[in-house]
A = this chain, B = another copy of it.
Amino acid sequence: MNIAALEKIALSVRALSMDAIQKANSGHPGLCLGAAELGAILYGELLRHDPSDPAWADRDRFVLSAGHGSMFLYSLLHLSGYRDMSLDEIKNFRQVGSRAAGHPEYGLAGGIEATSGPLGQGIAMAVGMAVAETMLASRFNTPSHTLVNHHTYVLVGDGCLMEGVSAEASSFAGHYGLGKLIVFYDSNKITIDGSTDIAFTEDTAKRYEAYGWQVLSGSMYDFEEIAKLVSQAKAESKKPSLIILKSIIGKGAPTKQNTADIHGSPLGAEELAAAKKGLGIEGDFYIAPEAVEYFKTRAAELKKIRESWKAEFEAWSKENPEKRKEWDQFHSGKVLPAQLPAFAQGEKIATRTAGNKALQAVAAANLNLVGGSADLKGPNAVGLPSDAGTWSAANRRGRYIHFGIREFSMAAISNGIQLHGGLRSYCATFMVFSDYLRPALRLSALMKQPVIYVFTHDSIYVGEDGPTHQPVEHLASLRVIPNVRVLRPADPEETACAWVMAMDNHSGPSCLALSRQNLTVFPKDDPDWKNTIRTGAYIVKKESGGQADLVLMATGSELGLALEAAQLALAKKPELKIRVVSVISRELFESQPAAIRETVVPPGCRVIACEAGVHSGWERWARPEDIFAIDRFGESGPAARAAEHVGFTAEKLAERCLAG
């Protein structure tokens, strides 16, 4: 180990971070200064990656869970040779258009493995990456060739470890024995409010031991010790490792180090000058020549490592052409067509159940689809074909994941699986508990990760479990997240389409809203509905004769209600020209050109919108009084009675149709 060079790398991380943050007049120097030594050894010695090929499948992953310390990462990406992260980007830190954004953003530059900043989620995503590694290793490695064999490193701070999501993910990681997960804890005992003594005095080491982790500790400022600890972590193949590194926040800032002041504000001109003087830094955006030199050599070594992997990959490909084909399909993200289930007109099945048939078909065709539920495998109906197996410490080839009752980390882990590459992930819970995982869903959306969320029990028709389990605001609240596709199929046939639409959506997460209760397969007047539905809406029942004077727009289980109401209304007023439209995805429909929208909903025509949830968002389509919605919490009772109680019946909807 070239300690002198590592020291110069650390120095350069400090210099770049301080200057970039000062120039931007915004940012978080605390971690960058405090953990610079870890960064130096990580990028200088430990990481098996290749800056010239950031997408190399078998690279080690590093996730900066404490994402506010983004300049730590950017400095190291630049120093180690990631071309995306030029010095100009760093000089534009936190400016519009810079790859060196306020927090690390996935997609902006090679080497950024995940968007982080929302605390606790980075470590949970890293857990997902480690899950993916085991799955791919067991599938593709052969006795003679090891193609998948890498570690996932994470850097967390006190904040990450206080968040519940990290607790869930860590319990999960311990249970499943993720031996290639190595978490560094930058233990500087300072948060924004001051000393951690104020609110966080638990024995974190003991807690992680309780999760089944190997817990090690040492000093942030002893390279040899860190190297030794990482060796120990790598040697323990059955347990994830937590390496607690005692550190000083803002180390190098003469008066502000070891105080909360240095966490999230620039040093200021005076402190910066003093820091530079103390550290022996001259000029701005200083990079030590020794660091440059060191990384030049290191880059060549790393390139060789990656090239030798490539050679092995080619040899393996020759010996295993079928596996290679599968590898390519897995890593292309391409979706293979499935033998979708068929349903008979009039058949009554819950869309969650129909969804399971579709999932099984899609999963049989796409062997890289993996996932599971937060302890609701049966109720969510998200089991995989039996030959898919259950993923566990004993069966890394399994594809079904029992996440435990840990919704938030389930979603974050699913993000991590997806980010890793090679796999497509889905996860499931009751729709009302989409709230529990919402922050991770937001990150799926922000990172444009096509995780599929299966949300069953999607309305007050949940019934007896009552308002704590009956979503009313959730369709609306999911729809407002940018890049999220909400799909609420109205019958079993639509459900099969919905699964395909979700699989084909690569621009962000999809949320399937599925019913607990049985829905009837209804006839569709649009003969081309299986294509039209991909615009978000189509005509289920066309008005008879002349132009429609009323369009009933409904989603999910309310389509059946709308059909029934239309019939009731027509019985009373046969001259009415009612059209019934199924809206499987309102956002998608709204994003269509006017010409397409107007084919389905004629402009100027009166619309009644019908959905068992809050009215919000339907105002675009219908007058407030023509939104047949539920703007209150539900009530515990058998589904039909609960719906009746809140005035949600076909009779009432028919009355609305008849009222001017």
- B-binding residues in A (CB < 8 A): 24, 26-27, 67, 94-98, 101-103, 105, 115-119, 158-159, 162-168, 171-172, 174-175, 191-193, 198-207, 209-212, 373, 375-379, 402-409, 432-433, 435-436, 438-439, 442-443, 445-446, 463-469, 472-473, 476-477, 479-483, 614, 616-620, 624, 631-633, 635-638, 641-642, 645
Q: A118-B468, A406-B162 are in contact. Are A206 and B200 (CB under 8 A)?
A: no
Would you give 24 A-B contacts (Cβ < 8 Å), ordered by A? A67-B468, A94-B464, A97-B645, A101-B636, A102-B465, A103-B636, A115-B468, A119-B405, A159-B375, A163-B168, A164-B165, A164-B406, A175-B199, A175-B202, A191-B404, A192-B375, A193-B373, A203-B209, A203-B212, A204-B210, A435-B442, A472-B482, A482-B632, A617-B619
B172 touches A199 (CB 8 A): yes
Compute how far the CA of A101 lies from the CA of B465 in the bound complex, rounded to whole angstroms: 8
Q: Which residues of chain B have C-beta atoms less than 8 A from A101's C-beta?
A: 466, 635-636
- Which residue of B has the minimal Cβ distance to A213? B202
Partner of A102, one of B171, B201, B432, B469: B469
Contacts A192-B378, A206-B210, A438-B438 known; list 19 others, CB within 8 Å: A94-B636, A94-B637, A96-B637, A96-B641, A97-B635, A101-B466, A103-B636, A117-B468, A118-B433, A118-B468, A119-B405, A159-B405, A162-B405, A175-B199, A175-B202, A191-B405, A446-B467, A472-B482, A619-B620
Q: Which residues of chain B have C-beta atoms less than 8 A from A96's C-beta?
A: 635-638, 641-642, 645
Compute how far the CA of A119 lies from the CA of B468 in the bound complex, rounded to whole angstroms: 10
Compute how far the CA of A633 lies from the CA of B618 in the bound complex, rounded to whole angstroms: 22
Compute how far the CA of A26 lies from the CA of B480 in the bound complex, rounded to whole angstroms: 34
Q: Which residues of chain B have C-beta atoms less than 8 A from A481's C-beta?
A: 473, 477
Compute how far the CA of A404 lies from the CA of B116 in the bound complex, rounded to whole angstroms: 19
- Which residue of B has the minimal Cβ distance to A627? B620
- Which residue of B has the minimal Cβ distance to A404? B199
Q: Which residues of chain B have C-beta atoms less than 8 A from A174's C-beta?
A: 201-202
Partner of A403, one of B199, B206, B209: B199
A376 touches B192 (CB 8 A): yes
B468 touches A103 (CB 8 A): yes
A95 touches B637 (CB 8 A): yes
CB distance from A226 to the nearest CB of B (A): 24
Compute how far the CA of A476 lies from the CA of B482 in the bound complex, rounded to whole angstroms: 12
Q: Which residues of chain B have C-beta atoms less than 8 A from A24's C-beta?
A: 464
A193 touches B402 (CB 8 A): yes
- Which residue of B has the minimal Cβ distance to A432? B118
A476 touches B467 (CB 8 A): no
Compute how far the CA of A199 lies from the CA of B620 in the bound complex, rounded to whole angstroms: 45
- Which residue of B has the minimal Cβ distance to A621? B619
Q: A192-B375, A464-B26, A480-B476 are in contact. Are A162 and B158 (CB under 8 A)?
A: no
B164 touches A409 (CB 8 A): yes
Q: A168-B162, A207-B207 are in contact. Are A466 and B103 (CB under 8 A)?
A: yes
Most chain B CB within a 10 A radius of its CB, from A206, A405, A481: A405
Q: Which residues of chain B have C-beta atoms less than 8 A from A67's C-beta?
A: 468
CB distance from A213 to the nearest CB of B (A): 10
CB distance from A117 to the nearest CB of B (A): 4
Q: A199-B172, A202-B171, A202-B212 are in contact. Are A408 and B103 (CB under 8 A)?
A: no
Q: Which residues of chain B have C-beta atoms less than 8 A from A202's C-beta?
A: 171, 174-175, 210-212
B117 touches A480 (CB 8 A): no
Compute how far the CA of A14 lies from the CA of B115 in the bound complex, rounded to whole angstroms: 50
A641 touches B405 (CB 8 A): no
Compute how far the CA of A175 lies from the CA of B433 in the bound complex, rounded to whole angstroms: 29
CB distance from A72 to the nearest CB of B (A): 16
Compute how far the CA of A573 lies from the CA of B436 in the bound complex, rounded to whole angstroms: 50
Partner of A203, one of B210, B375, B403: B210
Q: Which residues of chain B have C-beta atoms less than 8 A from A119's C-beta?
A: 405
- Which residue of B has the minimal Cβ distance to A98? B636
Compute how far the CA of A619 lies from the CA of B404 in the bound complex, rounded to whole angstroms: 40
Compute how far the CA of A166 lies from the CA of B641 in the bound complex, rounded to whole angstroms: 34
Q: Which residues of chain B have C-beta atoms less than 8 A from A408's C-beta?
A: 164
Compute how far the CA of A617 lies from the CA of B614 in the bound complex, rounded to whole angstroms: 11
A199 touches B159 (CB 8 A): no
Q: Which residues of chain B have C-beta atoms less than 8 A from A193's C-beta?
A: 373, 375-378, 402
Compute how far the CA of A373 lies from the CA of B192 in the bound complex, rounded to whole angstroms: 11
CB distance from A641 to the nearest CB of B (A): 5
Compute how far the CA of A445 lies from the CA of B634 in the bound complex, rounded to whole angstroms: 13
CB distance from A420 to the nearest CB of B (A): 20
Q: A199-B402, A482-B631, A619-B619 are in contact. Are A95 and B638 (CB under 8 A)?
A: yes
Compute how far the CA of A467 lies from the CA of B402 in the bound complex, rounded to whole angstroms: 31
Compute how far the CA of A465 lies from the CA of B101 in the bound complex, rounded to whole angstroms: 8
Compute how far the CA of A379 lies from the CA of B192 in the bound complex, rounded to whole angstroms: 9
CB distance from A615 to the nearest CB of B (A): 9
- Which residue of B has the minimal Cβ distance to A191? B375
Q: Which residues of chain B have C-beta atoms less than 8 A from A616's C-beta?
A: 476, 479-480, 616-617
- Which residue of B has the minimal Cβ distance to A645? B96
Q: Which residues of chain B have C-beta atoms less than 8 A from A618's C-beta?
A: 619
- Which residue of B has the minimal Cβ distance to A407? B163
Compute how far the CA of A622 lies from the CA of B211 in the bound complex, rounded to whole angstroms: 53
Q: Which residues of chain B have C-beta atoms less than 8 A from A439's C-beta?
A: 433, 435-436
Compute how far the CA of A103 lies from the CA of B463 in the bound complex, rounded to whole angstroms: 12
A163 touches B164 (CB 8 A): yes
A480 touches B171 (CB 8 A): no
Compute how far the CA of A637 lies from the CA of B103 in the bound complex, rounded to whole angstroms: 11
- Which residue of B has the minimal Cβ distance to A166? B164
- Which residue of B has the minimal Cβ distance to A28? B465
CB distance from A646 to the nearest CB of B (A): 10
The 9 closest A-B pairs by CB, nearest first: A164-B164, A96-B637, A102-B466, A199-B404, A167-B167, A206-B210, A102-B636, A619-B620, A117-B468
Compute how far the CA of A216 lies from the CA of B515 in the bound complex, rounded to whole angstroms: 43
Compute how far the CA of A119 lies from the CA of B435 in the bound complex, rounded to whole angstroms: 12
Compute how far the CA of A494 lies from the CA of B481 in the bound complex, rounded to whole angstroms: 28
